[in-house]
Each structure stands twice: as structure tokens, then as C-alpha cells.
Amino acid sequence: MLLARTVDVTRRYGTGAKAQVALDGVSLDIHAGGVVGLLGPNGAGKSTLVNLLVGLRRPTSGTVELFGGDPRDPAARRRIGVTPQETGLPATLRVRECVAFVAAHFADPVPTGELLEGFGLTEVAGRQTGGLSGGQKRRLAVALAFVGRPDLVFLDEPTTGLDVQARRDLWDHVRAYGRTGTVVLTSHYLEEIEALADRVVVLGGGRVLADDTVAAIRAMVGIHRVSLDSATLPELPPLPGVVGVEQADGRTSLLTADPDQLVRDLVTTGVPFRGLQVRPTSLEEVFLTLTGR
């Protein structure tokens, strides 16, 4: 089921010579179920895309649909939950009151106590939001996106400022939600995208550079890393198919598209290697290649 879509969307900020093109011909379908990760460097257009999908901004050209209609239609917006990149919580409201305030807008909200428990906020339920730590504020901002049992949740860099444990707890929540609902999440953390996303959309310079599963995107570059302990390794003879050699952390890495053949060749050379490891390149390595960074 199609929940949201953009068709050939362009978004510019400003006019004339100073115009900034934030999105440039982006077409994207968001289907029900799972976690879609929007990945891209600073200024790639991730927040702009989310803001268009949730009806906070309008495209300069192209079409944006949410549940088959206009994202600014209140009926469509009632079915989504959003955590923007920056949230201003009313400083004098208590955490519990904040949740109750948002819950009042929905017919069947998650009970406040249950929601606070789920996001580790029970202990600070009676505290004014102005007195929360940065991480607690962020957790509350993310919790508010889930109050109305939304069909589609948009989280713009939800774990920025969270410590490792809080980040992992939030991942559990997002993952669990993605089993029955749908989440669109932007992140700078490749680890986060690898951990959560079923589908990754890589944005760069306002364009979709790749749109696939984590595994497929990793395989797009298709390069594997064959690494050996450097300590006892003699100088290697030239080996066919090696596209790069790296030295780091006491290991020599050979980059190749055909790791099986490289291992056979290594054995044939008779080089006394130790500590052989073969692994696909990480999402980070692929990401750097795709975005040209």
C-alpha cells in the first residue's frame, strides 16, 4: 500500500542568483511496512524532503502526496507522527502534561504512562521540560511522534545527542514499530541506518543517488576487503584484481571485487600470511563513494 510519494519534486529556497536548490527532481514512493532510512551528508536535502512529506513546506515544482492526498490536509496529518530535527518544547509544561496535550488531539492515543515507560521517561514524568537534559528532551520529542498510533512516522535525526544506551533503546522502539507500522528516518549515523533500515535512500546534492536495501547498496560497489596481519607479512608480489591496498591498525587490506580469486592467488604465491579476514565493504565505505566525499 502506497502511503506517501513525491513525483519529480524540486524545492528551491530563495530566488535569483542566490537560490539554493535543496531538492532536484526527487521521485520516491513510501510503501506500508518497515523502516526507510534517508541517508546523506549535511545539506543533502533530507530535512527538506521530510518537511515536504509532512506538509510543513510546499515543493517549488512536482507533486507530493500523503495517503493519496495533500500533505497539508488535516485528515492526512492526523495519521502521521513527526519528530522534526529541532523541537521547541514548552519549558514550563511537565513531561506528563506535554504528552497529555498531544494525546488530546487523537481519538485513540497511547496511554501516557505506557508511552513514558516505553521511552524511559517515567522517572521524569513530573518534571518541567525546561529542566530536562538534552537527551531526555530528545526522547520526549521522539515519544510525542508515537502518541497518536500513527500509520507513518517521520523521525528527523532522532538519536542526535543521545548516549549509547538511550540510542539503542530508541532503536528497539523504532524496530518494533517498523514491524507493524512504517517509519521514515533520517540519520547521519550509518550504523543506525544499518541497524534499522529495510530500505536506504541515499541523498546527495538534492538528488536520489541510490534507493535499495542496505545489502544491495553495499554490494553496489561490490568491493571486498581481504585483510592480513601486517606484522609477519613480507612484501606482497603484484596480485591481479587488487584495486587498492590500505595499511591500518596492524593490518594490510587488499581491496578487490573477487575476494575468492584473490585468496587463491595469495595461496599460490606461497606468501606466509596470517590472520586472513574477508569482508564486504561497510555501508560507510559505499556511502563515501556514492556521495563523492
Binding region for ligand ATP (CB under 6 A): 13-14, 20, 22, 40, 42-48, 85
What is the spatial distance between Cα 251 and Cα 91, in angstroms, rounded to a whole number?
52
What is the spatial distance between Cα 100 and Cα 147, in angstroms, rounded to a whole number?
9
Within 8 A by CB and 6+ apart from 137, the residues are 87, 89, 129
Residue ranges in the chain assigned as alpha helix (H):
46-53, 74-77, 95-103, 112-118, 134-146, 164-180, 190-196, 214-221, 259-269, 283-290
CB 114 within 8 A of CB 185: no
Closest CB 20 distance from ligand ATP, rounded Å: 4
Within 8 A by CB and 6+ apart from 194, the residues are 214, 282, 283
Closest CB 80 distance from ligand ATP, rounded Å: 18
Comparing CA positions, the residue from 187, 212, 243, 208 lying closest to residue 39 is 187
What is the spatial distance between Cα 293 and Cα 289, in angstroms, rounded to a whole number?
7
Nearer to ligand ATP, 52 or 262 (CB): 52
Closest CB 55 distance from ligand ATP, rounded Å: 16
Nearer to ligand ATP, 22 or 28 (CB): 22
Nearer to ligand ATP, 205 or 275 (CB): 205
Q: Give helix 214-221 / helix 283-290 axis angle, nearest 10°.
A: 60
CA dihedral sign of residues 250, 256, 260, 265: negative
Nearer to ligand ATP, 45 or 148 (CB): 45
Nearer to ligand ATP, 60 or 230 (CB): 60
Closest CB 191 distance from ligand ATP, rounded Å: 16
Nearer to ligand ATP, 50 or 152 (CB): 50
Nearer to ligand ATP, 228 or 286 (CB): 286
Closest CB 78 distance from ligand ATP, rounded Å: 25
What is the spatial distance between Cα 40 and Cα 22, in angstroms, rounded to a whole number?
12
- CA angle centred on 87, ends 67 and 83, rounded to 5°: 30
Closest CB 51 distance from ligand ATP, rounded Å: 8
Closest CB 60 distance from ligand ATP, rounded Å: 12
CB 98 within 8 A of CB 143: no
Closest CB 53 distance from ligand ATP, rounded Å: 12
Nearer to ligand ATP, 21 or 219 (CB): 21
CB 256 within 8 A of CB 224: yes
